[in-house]
Homo-oligomer: A and B are copies of this chain.
Amino acid sequence: MKLSEAKTSADSSAASVSDRKAERRLAMIATAARLFARDGYADCEMESVASELGVAKGTLYLYFRSKEELFCACVDQGMRELQETVQQAAQGSIAPFDRISAAIRAYLLFFEQHPEQAELLIQERAFFHDRPKPTYFTYREASRERWRVVWAELLSGGSIRDGLTVDQILDFIGNLVYGTMFTNHFLGRSAGEQHALIMDIFYRGIWSDAQRHTGE
């Protein structure tokens, strides 16, 4: 359905003007994200986005001041959805380790189902690398605070080896899933059973008991 064909009937009772505007904004963001990811920021013309939406170029500029702003809206929206997806997944469990596992699985699946978001993260850095920090890391740090509580609980509960701090663990797992996500994306790998493996090594390491003894 073309954006231009949406909402032409008389449902104005429920949806206010600003609702409809927000709705169209989201539709624009969704389409733009797809095309930005497909063609790259530079090669994605505003004209293409508009025509894909079935509207005129000028209309895009009624919703976004510039191409850059549209792009940023795409990244922001993607990160918000990622965050929400991960949180929702985590809420399905109560046990800390289960929540962590669920969150990581959701994270990897999100990018598998929304590969355009991985591309947008790259595009953002490539084209706007004068910005202090990629949006991704802003969100990563925001979520860090929430997970800190969970890990602290595990640490104080004796589930974690002595000598590891919450920050070290958070960094490790954060870097691991970040690298895994991009590798999956570039090599076309799926998150499926990979997830169990990651958690396994993360929790138990690769060493055999014999080696644990020697290595200590």
Contact = CB atoms under 8 A, between A and B. Distances in A.
A13 interface: no
B204 A158 contact: no
Contacts of A197: 168, 172
A67 to B, nearest CB: 13
Contacts of A198: 172
A202 B194 CA distance: 16
A212 to B, nearest CB: 6
A203 B203 contact: no
Contacts of A134: 186
B180 A133 contact: no
Contacts of A211: 158-160, 203
Contact of A183 (B119, B127, B178): B178
Contacts of A172: 176, 197-198, 201, 206
| Number of copies of chain A assembled together | 4
A206 B202 contact: yes
A210 B158 contact: yes
Interface residues of A, number: 52
Interface string A175-216: 111111011001100000010011001111111111110110
A202 B203 contact: no
A169 B206 contact: yes
Given A123-B126, A164-B201, A159 B207 contact: yes
A138 to B, nearest CB: 11
Contacts of A127: 40, 42, 126
Contacts of A162: 208
Contacts of A201: 164, 168-169, 172, 202, 205
A13 B26 CA distance: 40
Nearest to A183: B175
The 5 lowest CB-CB distance pairs between A and B, nearest first, are A179-B179, A126-B126, A205-B205, A178-B179, A175-B179
B206 A164 contact: yes
